[in-house]
Amino acid sequence: MLMAAGEIRKECVYLDRIIFHVDVNSAFLSWEAARRVQNGEEDIRLIPSAIGGDREKRTGVILAKSIPAKRYNIKTGEPVAMALRKCPQLYLAKPDFVLYERSSKAFMDICRKYSPVVEKYSIDECFLDMSGTMHLYPDYYAIAIQIKNEIRDTLGFTVNIGIGPNKLLAKMASDFEKPDKIHTLFLDELKDKLWPMPVGELFLVGYATSERLRKANITTIGELAGTDLGRIQALVGVKFGIQIHEYANGIDDTPVLDRPDPPKGYSNSITLEEDVKTIESANRILLALSDSVASRMRADNVKAFCISVTIRDNNFKDKSRQTKLHEPTDITSEIYEISRRLFSEVWDRKTPLRLLGVSLSDLATENYEQQSLFFAQDRVREEKLDRTIDNLRQKFGIDTITRGSLYQSNTNVGKKYKAQLKNKAQDDH
């Protein structure tokens, strides 16, 4: 049941486990709007507006949009040129990742005032484990209202809060009607709230999986929940079948972790607005991706033994190739050269490509020594270069310095690679 802001459920009682999912409404745009309002400027949340791209050159993609922009059917991830055709008066603001990190920390600091365990799920969402806090907060719905309102009144932007007995249901609940709302989703509410929803709305069920289920006449989450597990596994695989069947039935025992598990690997991929048709274009992409994943890995002080490259052609067929190294690496130039070799082995140079990805796995934290003194000295020089570039970017921004061969031509695609480098948090797993 949807509650109006300020309304309190008097009948609330604590269950064994209570999880909150706090999700910033249209985060990048909200954070930019809040800063402008604080400076006495117009609130861009009230007009058709978006974050991302270059209006004059009509390049880039939409990263976030206002509710008025949504009425023009503008979608996150679509090219700026397409958005401007739908809404010529669309106001575009450039991304500011320093602002985003600062705003993210600010709202999560407020959340940590209310719960001993807060897990950062992404830059604009987190989980709070409220279990066992009933003596401090007798009414969990009332305290959710308090958290929501404190974030709004203190920081100038709104959040949705989902409440449930586990992380899955709390997250699903927070995606109900927006903005500035609180929703619950408990097991006794599945029939009315979750099961009527399209199966593609279930967490982790993407387009391809939903289409496969739809063709098997499984169109709602409730139908998925009631379908024999063996049939689902035959459609989507054994492990994934178990997972989405449990999710459809509201089952999830994942703990809320105040410190996330260390990543098992680092990856970055990019889906291109224009198909890649030449080895030169592909190499520029591979350098951008290698630079991105390597810098994130260096920030965590780990190295990788395994490098893999993935491609998807314009027929949506995926191929990948990987190699194991004798010595782990975090050096951009090494990762790039190996990625180029793997790419040359996996691409036929005939079929245009729409996606490229680079992944690093089999991680090591120890310091390994090379046997060859000459090669060791060469690696030390490359490592110093990488660290210098990382430090400059951290201090002055990602645009401060770029790898020379990456931007030899001033192409639209090259600019998108630069935007890709800014998204350091993407695709960690």
Q: Is 67 left (phi over 0), alpha (psi -120 to 50) or beta?
A: alpha
Q: Which residues are CB-neighbours of 159 under 8 A, at least 6 positions away?
A: 22, 23, 24, 25, 107, 148, 151, 152, 180
Residue 237, by phi and psi: left (phi above 0), alpha (psi -120 to 50) or beta? left
Q: What angle do CA 420, 421, 426 make, to 5 degrees?
A: 70
Phi/psi of residue 54, nearest 5 degrees? -125, 115
Q: What's the rounded Cα separation, in Å, for the pair 297 and 379?
A: 16
Just list the catalytic residues. Answer: 125
Q: Cα 28 vs. chain centroid, distance in angstroms?
A: 13
Partner residues linked to 220 by β-bridges: 198
The phi and psi torsions of 104 (rounded to 5 degrees) equal -60, -45
CA distance 50 to 27: 11
DSSP state of 193: I
Phi, psi of 205 (to 5 degrees): -90, 105
DSSP state of 11: T
Question: What whole-number distance in Å separates Cα of residue 103 and Cα of residue 109?
Answer: 10
| Residue 175, burial from CB neighbour count under 10 angstroms (0-12, 13-18, 19+) | middle
